[in-house]
Structures are given as C-alpha cells and as structure tokens.
Amino acid sequence: MMSEPSPNRQRYNMEQLTAMCVGIISECPCIMVVITFLTYSQADSLLPLFFLQANKKRGFNHLCQCVIFVVMFRKTWPVLLLLFVSLASYAQDSFGDNIQILLSPGDSLRRLGLVNGAIKLYRQRYQEDAGDIVNAYNYSCAFAVSKQIDSAFKYLRPAIEKDSTLQALVDPDLIHLYNDERWNEIQNEIIEKFQLKSGKLKKVELAKKLLEIKALDQAYLEEIDQAQEKMGRDCAVVDALWDLKDRINKKNLKEVEEIITSNTWPKISDVGTEGAEAVFLVIQHADINAQKKYLPVIKKLCEDNEAPCENYALMYDRVEVAENNRQLYGTQVKWSTNANKYVLYPIVDEKNVDERRLHLGLMPIAQYLITFGIQYKPQ
C-alpha cells in the first residue's frame, strides 16, 4: 500500500501552488514549456538539459519524482513548478503515463543504481566546473552511498557552504556519514546557518535527532525502486530490502515513541517543519495499531496549524484502508500487478471527495492522482 510516490530524495508539498497554476496554463501547456525554458535560460545555469521520451515501462510518477528532485537542489522552484504543471497537463492529454525525464548523465546513472559510473561523470563535470555546487553535492552523495567517506566529506563542505536549508540533514544518501565525528561539525554548521536565516528551531538537539530519523525513514527507497525495475516486485532481493526497511522503521518507531513520551509530540514551532514531518513519516510507516493510536493527535495538530492537514488525510485514509473500509479523502493507491499500474482504493461518497479535500486545503483528486499516472474518472 502506498500513499505517495517514493522520490529519491525529500518530497516537497506543492499541492496548493500547483492547483493555482493548473487552471491558468492547462490550455496552453506547450507554450508554457517554451516560456519556462526561455525564462530559465536567463538565470545562472544549474539545471541540466531535460530530455523527454516515451517509455511504457516507466510511469508518469517518474516525471514528478525527477522534477521534485531538481526543485530541491536547483532552488529554482517557481520556474520548475510551471514546467512541472505544464508537462503534467500536456502528458494527461497526449502521453498519459508514458513519459520519462532524464537529468544530467551522472544523475541518470545514479537512478539506474550505477554509482561508480555516476562518480566518474560527476568527477568529469567537477573538473570542468568546480563551482557547480549541484554537481559537487551529488558527487558527495554518490561517494557517501558507496561508503567512500573521506571523499564524501571533501566535496560536501564546498557544496553546502552557501546553503542555509536543512536539505543535507534529511538526505538519505548521507546516512553512512552519521558515525563519523565530522558529521557533527556538518550538522552544527548547517543548523547555525539555518538559525541565522530563520531562527525557527527552539529545540535544536531534538530537531537534529529528528532530522536523522527522517533521513533513515527515507533510506533505501531508491534502491528498492531500482531492484523492482530490474528484477520485478516479486523477487528475493526486493523482499530482503523491504525486510531491512522494516527493521529501520521499527527502530525509528521506538525512538519516536520515546521522544513523544518524554517531550510530547514535537511541534513545528519547536523543531521546524522537517523535524515535525519526521515524526509523522515514522508513524505513517508503522503498524496499524500505532497509526490508530496517534491519529487523534495528528488531527489536533492539524487543527492547531502545527502539522499539514494533508498528514491527517493520509493517516485517516491509511487506517481505513487497512481495516478494509473505503477511504474518505482519496489519498491511498496500490500497485496492480495485473494492470501494471497504480489503482485507487475505493472512496466513500466519492462525488463529494473534492469538497472534503478542499476543506483540508488539498488539491482536487484528479490533480493529485496525476503523480501516480492515474487518469481519474469519478465513479
């Protein structure tokens, strides 16, 4: 069961912005793509050239994953958001879910699991332009994934020198650096820059712990995707990777429940958005008993603006589906082996689902399901 795609890196919630843009540009997506590229060409070049190609073996969610990935690291989200929505609108009309988008050569090899090959291409790009901080960051990540720890730290420092976000602290690629004393220095430097810019973390040490938990929660999802694409979903390697994820999830749940017991549920106002999101993700990936236990807490946090109401919708639907009930907000999908695509779980009172979603500030269900390559047709 899956409530959202498994992006290689952190997922950003752009539902409201996307909903605002779709109505404006859905009638002229091709023109918007051209405008987007022309606009971006005037900025500093951080974004590799995009290539689109039809590929029936890859779902439309790959497009969404790649664009979200680029948004996080290129920090040009307004332009790329327009590109994303334009392509989404065009894809629904013309290609359906048969679209694939490729990034830089190094990034493309990373997506295929060819880390050593990616390192060679990142090195080549670094020799051409050491000032390309995006390449330097991905270069560092590739070294970290391959457990070349010294090289990972070497290229990570210049890559994050001017970055005041917490991205590196929630990146699952970097989890192998956690046991090195240099990671504490990196953590402190990043937190200090973040605090100077926003000053949002009241409980810094707790936030640092939660950021690590979030990275661990997202760890190995990329490797699972790669294994499934190469060997299918029903193979021993994929099963073993999911067993590893299950052990990580159980360890995370134990730590999060200890935190909740001693500190109450961490709030955005105390540990920031990333830290608070970590707690939700861990509960979301826990067993049904934990989900039911904390569902009322998540609802209250939503009402108090201490958590996105999307979290409540996701958790509520997940619990309902797990108990063989119809979902309320239409957030839950599953992979159909027979159809070779994602399908939507049944919804109660489906004709009013968008009204319920709007009440929580969520985008219309048809737009939400584009992420999974589902062309929504109300029942």
Beta carbons within 10 angstroms of residue 82's beta carbon: 22
Domains, the chain, in order of start with CATH, read: 15-103 (no CATH), 112-199 (1.25.40)
Predicted pLDDT of residue 198: 82
CA 337 and chain centroid, separation: 24
CA 319 and chain centroid, separation: 22
The three-class DSSP label of residue 49 is coil
Choose the weakest-confidence range: 74-78, 141-145, 220-224, 319-323.
74-78
Predicted pLDDT of residue 379: 72
Task: Give the percent of the chain with pLDDT over 70.
Answer: 73
Predicted pLDDT of residue 307: 87
Average pLDDT over residues 116-144: 95
What are the angstrom distances between the C-alpha of 299 and each of 40, 72, 285, 302, 321? 40, 28, 17, 5, 18
Helix (H), strand (E) at residue 336: strand 333-336
* 199 band by pLDDT with thresholds 50, 70 and 90: confident
Task: Give the percent of the chain with pLDDT over 90.
Answer: 61
**Helix axis angle, 268-284 relative to 236-263, nearest 10°?**
140
The per-residue pLDDT for range 277-314, each reduced to its tens digit, is 999 999 999 999 999 999 999 999 999 988 899 999 99
Predicted pLDDT of residue 215: 97
* 45 band by pLDDT with thresholds 50, 70 and 90: very low
How far apart, in whole angstroms, are the C-alpha atoms of residue 140 and residue 333? 34
What are the angstrom distances between the C-alpha of 101 and each of 30, 42, 59, 143, 314? 16, 22, 11, 24, 28
Is residue 10 predicted with pLDDT exceeding 60?
no
Structure tokens belonging to residue 338:
């027979």
Q: Is the pTM of this model over 0.85?
A: no
Structure tokens belonging to residue 46:
């951080």
The per-residue pLDDT for range 17-43, each reduced to its tens digit, is 443 344 444 444 444 444 444 444 433
The three-class DSSP label of residue 327 is strand
Predicted pLDDT of residue 92: 38
How far apart, in whole angstroms, are the C-alpha atoms of residue 222 and residue 189? 27
How far apart, in whole angstroms, are the C-alpha atoms of residue 124 and residue 136? 11
Q: Which amino acid is at 189?
A: E
**Helix axis angle, 221-231 relative to 236-263, nearest 10°?**
160
Predicted pLDDT of residue 35: 44
Predicted pLDDT of residue 7: 32
Average pLDDT over residues 54-70: 40
Average pLDDT over residues 99-120: 82
Which residues, at least 6 apart from 131, have a Cβ–Cβ distance to it below 8 Å?
Answer: none
**Backbone phi, then psi, for 172, in 5-degree steps?**
-65, -20
Query: Would strands 333-336 and 341-344 be described as parallel, antiparallel, or unpaired?
Result: antiparallel
Higher pLDDT, 190 or 6: 190
- Most confidently predicted of 26-40, 47-61, 245-259: 245-259
Average pLDDT over residues 183-208: 92
The rounded mean pLDDT for the chain is 79
Question: Three-class SS string for 111-125?
Answer: HCCCHHHHHHHHHHH
CA-atom Rg of the chain in angstroms: 20
What are the angstrom distances between the C-alpha of 279 and each of 5, 25, 143, 260, 273? 19, 36, 28, 9, 10
Higher pLDDT, 378 or 28: 378
The per-residue pLDDT for range 320-353, each reduced to its tens digit, is 999 999 999 999 999 898 888 999 999 999 999 9
Query: In 3D, which of 88, 172, 141 has the Cα closest to residue 363?
Result: 88
Which residues, at least 6 apart from 277, have a Cβ–Cβ distance to it below 8 Å?
Answer: 214
Is residue 4 predicted with pLDDT exceeding 80?
no
